[in-house]
């Protein structure tokens, strides 16, 4: 049986299909579920990227780790549209399509991998969507095995 690793932290979950949904270990999942309740100051203290998007993609929050990853200043992106202005590479079914489905669905979270074509080269990331009222919290972490 292949090892199943947590998509978020890389910890071994088990030897077969994970019992926990989403391929994320219990500890990470509990932490991730708490993110939508954090203040922007608390978001800035996290070691991974967090973006809060309104239903149509307007950026409501953008934390420091995401700023470092994408090399953009939070103040220059907040209030703009993530899918059309900031990261047009995400205007594809794999990201925007998933976002729309998630907005209008009942899943508590959704996890998938995505490659951002940053100027310095492509970066493979794990994305987790979480509901924040009518908005969506997007957690972003580089896939394991890439240089920090």
Residues within window 5-34 making contact with Zn ion, judged by CB under 5 A? 6, 8-9, 11, 25, 28
Among the residue ranges 3-11, 40-48, 51-59, 131-139, the one whose residues contact Zn ion (CB under 5 A): 3-11
Provide the minimum distance between the beta carbon of 94 and Zn ion in the complex, in angstroms, as a whole number. 23
Q: In this structure, is the dihedral angle defined by the CA atoms of residues 137, 143, 146 and 148, taken in order, positive or negative?
A: positive
Select 8 or 95, whichever has its Cβ closest to Zn ion. Answer: 8
77 binds Zn ion (CB under 5 A): no
- 23 versus 57: smaller Cβ distance to Zn ion: 23
CB of 128 to Zn ion, least distance (A): 11
Nearest to 83 by CA among 72, 95, 73: 95
End-to-end CA distance of the chain: 30
- Which residue number, 25 or 35, has a Cβ lying nearer to Zn ion? 25
Is the separation of the CB atoms in 32 and 138 below 8 Å? no
Residues 89-128 that bind Zn ion (CB under 5 A): none
Measured in whole angstroms, the distance separating CA 98 from the mean position of its chain's CA atoms is 12
Q: Are 54 and 135 in contact (CB under 8 A)?
A: yes
Q: Which is nearer to Zn ion, 25 or 77 (CB)?
A: 25
Closest CA to 44 of 74, 77, 8: 74
| Residue numbers at the binding site for Zn ion (CB under 5 A) | 6, 8-9, 11, 25, 28
């Amino acid at each position: 049986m292949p090892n199943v690793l947590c998509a978020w932290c890389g910890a071994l979950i088990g030897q077969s299909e994970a019992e926990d949904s989403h391929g994320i270990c219990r500890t990470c999942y509990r932490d991730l579920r708490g993110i939508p309740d954090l203040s922007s100051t608390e978001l800035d203290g996290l070691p991974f990227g967090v973006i809060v998007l309104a239903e149509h993609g307007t950026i409501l929050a953008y934390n420091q780790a995401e700023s470092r990853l994408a090399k953009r200043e939070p103040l220059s992106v907040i209030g703009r549209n993530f899918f059309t202005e900031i990261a047009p590479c995400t205007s594809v079914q794999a990201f925007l399509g998933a976002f729309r489905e998630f907005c209008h669905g009942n899943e508590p979270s959704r996890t998938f991998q995505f490659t951002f074509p940053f100027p310095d080269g492509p970066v493979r990331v794990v994305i987790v969507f979480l509901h924040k009222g009518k908005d969506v919290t997007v957690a972003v972490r580089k896939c394991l095995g890439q240089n920090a």
